[in-house]
């Protein structure tokens, strides 16, 4: 026998159970992969949409910053007045056991300007507001990109497991069942023939 399993009814039943489990496992892996792929495609579409929006928002923000630089001179000194933002929180949601990050930050009712109005102008205010939008959109894109990476990794692992079941384990147990069944049938035929001979010699 190819995998050195002794041909007994117990081993035949064990092989049938293992085959049934492998088929069930493959079906579950296939379903999981399909769910993950659907989720991945949604996130990929969202990432494309966000990248397009971020490019436009960046362009607008830099245009506003350039205007502020032209009218005020170099505005780098005002950046020191902008406080560090530590309000970002990262949570997760589960998709078929895959942890997808959710980045959140507190809702803001309006734009609070962190610098004084005396030496600034509306162009700097608009640049500040535009870069805040860029920040928020970048956080959203980071969330989506991280989700895409985790889903792609999980899909790859799920595909490998499904392939192992489909191409290795299921054929192995199918062949084992066939081999054991053939051996048991041969044994039963031999036993039947032997019994017939014994009966014939007793007459």
Q: Report pLDDT digits (tens) over 119-164.
A: 667 877 888 888 888 888 999 999 999 999 999 999 999 999 999 9
Q: Pick from 145, 112, 122: which is nearest to 43 by CA?
A: 145
Q: What Rg do the C-alpha atoms of the chain give, in angstroms?
A: 34
What per-residue confidence (pLDDT) applies to 1? 42
DSSP helix, strand, coil percent of the chain (3-state; round to 5): 75, 5, 20
Domains of the chain in sequence order: 9-197 (1.10.287.3240)
What separation, in Å, do the N-terminal and C-terminal C-alpha atoms of the chain show?
Answer: 39
- How many H helices and E strands in the chain? 4, 2
Specify the DSSP class assigned to residue 89: E
Q: Report pLDDT digits (tens) over 1-46.
A: 456 788 899 999 999 999 999 999 999 999 999 999 999 999 999 9
Q: Give the global pTM.
A: 0.77
* Rounded CA separation 173/19 (Å): 6
């Amino acid at each position: 026998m190819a995998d050195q399993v002794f041909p007994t009814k117990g081993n035949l039943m064990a092989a049938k159970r293992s085959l049934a489990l492998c088929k069930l496992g493959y079906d579950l892996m296939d379903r999981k992969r399909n769910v993950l792929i659907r989720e991945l495609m949604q996130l990929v579409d969202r990432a494309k949409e966000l990248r397009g929006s971020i490019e436009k928002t960046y362009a607008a923000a830099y245009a506003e910053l350039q205007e502020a630089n032209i009218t005020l001179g170099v505005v780098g000194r005002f950046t020191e007045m902008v406080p560090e933002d530590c309000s970002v929180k990262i949570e997760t949601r589960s998709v078929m056991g895959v942890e997808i990050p959710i980045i959140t930050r507190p809702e803001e009712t309006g734009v609070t300007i962190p610098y004084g109005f005396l030496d600034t102008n509306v162009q700097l205010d608009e640049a500040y507001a535009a870069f805040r939008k860029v920040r928020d959109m970048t956080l959203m894109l980071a969330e989506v990109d991280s989700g895409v990476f985790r889903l792609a990794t999980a899909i790859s692992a799920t595909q490998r497991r499904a392939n192992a079941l489909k191409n290795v384990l299921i054929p192995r147990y199918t062949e084992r069942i066939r081999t054991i069944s053939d051996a048991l049938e041969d044994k039963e035929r031999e036993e039947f023939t032997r019994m017939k001979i014994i009966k014939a010699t007793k007459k």
